[in-house]
Structure 1
Amino acid sequence: MKVSNYLDTKPIQVLAGVVKREVITADDGAPHFCMRVFELEPGSSIPLHSHPWEHEIFVLSGQGVALSEDGAVIVAAGESQRMGGVDKVLALLGGKPVLARTIDVFQNCSSIDQIVVVLSEPNLEPGKQLVAEQGWSKVTDVCAGGRRRQDSVVAGLSRLKNCHWVVIHDGA
């Protein structure tokens, strides 16, 4: 186990107003893990980027915005007119609501960080209940859609927070 103060590590200037300190590296016997502390002066930033591995961000003091890379808007606010009045969003398929099967796919997708579900007004409460029952951690909002599909897409997009990429997908 390594015990140290991050201030004891050598500061490395990486950008104007940005200093990096490498607290844990492969040299410490951690070939698949690293811990770096970035110190940003007010008004400075790190360019938007991504990594093929998981990483955590902790703000030790001050405030900042971390952009979430990818989001999904699941649009299910239609009237199911082609289904003869059967609500396909909450209809069971193999004992599970069709909407739940769709959300499961994005919940289990490693490149999706947040999900917004857009439902018709009558399905809003049952949809929120479904999300609560299933405990999907990536669903950040369930909101009402608009009169047209494009209105529903805009409603969903407006609920995503700081996404770089967004997938729009039908709920059923």
Structure 2
Amino acid sequence: MAASEDGEQGAYFSFGADGRPNPPIDFSGPYGKIHYLHSLSLAVADDRRLYALPTPPTLRSRDSRNHLIAFDLVTGTPVWGGPDDDRLDGDSGYRLLVQDGKLTVLTSHRKNPYRVRALDPATGEQREISDLPDSMDSADRIFTYRDRLIVARYDAYSNGRRPFTAYGHR
């Protein structure tokens, strides 16, 4: 998986087992806009799919949240999710992690604390949901270690926040 950006334009590129390129997945489309500058957090890939948290194609206050979508890497087409799909229950997608056959999505909402959602990468169906403490600081990156979800913050030393926080996670 690779990404190429030219100003506001750009795409994700993947390659087949024979090294031939698959169709690109554009940063912008009817699904909205995948922001490349945050691609390490807002788009992740496994060997079959690209999972992304694009902003909606139209920015109205009621739908300004990042929604979840999965693209097939071989065809470059969406397989589930999108702007009209509410598999995040009204929350805004915030960070992504795909690992060990599970898609983990950190979400937030004005009225709710941060949540961790575990989804089936093949179908997008939610497997688990758990709330994180209201006092959780923003996360720059998430990863797992054993049965813990680790939240990393890049600028923690400059602003006094903890650089890492570990949460129980199945």
TM-score range, shorter chain: under 0.3
Flag the structure with higher helix content. 1
TM-score, reference length from structure 1: 0.22
Higher RCO (CA < 8 A, seq sep 6+) = 1
Task: Indicate the structure (1 or 2) with the bigger Cα radius of gyration.
Answer: 1
Flag the structure with higher strand content. 2
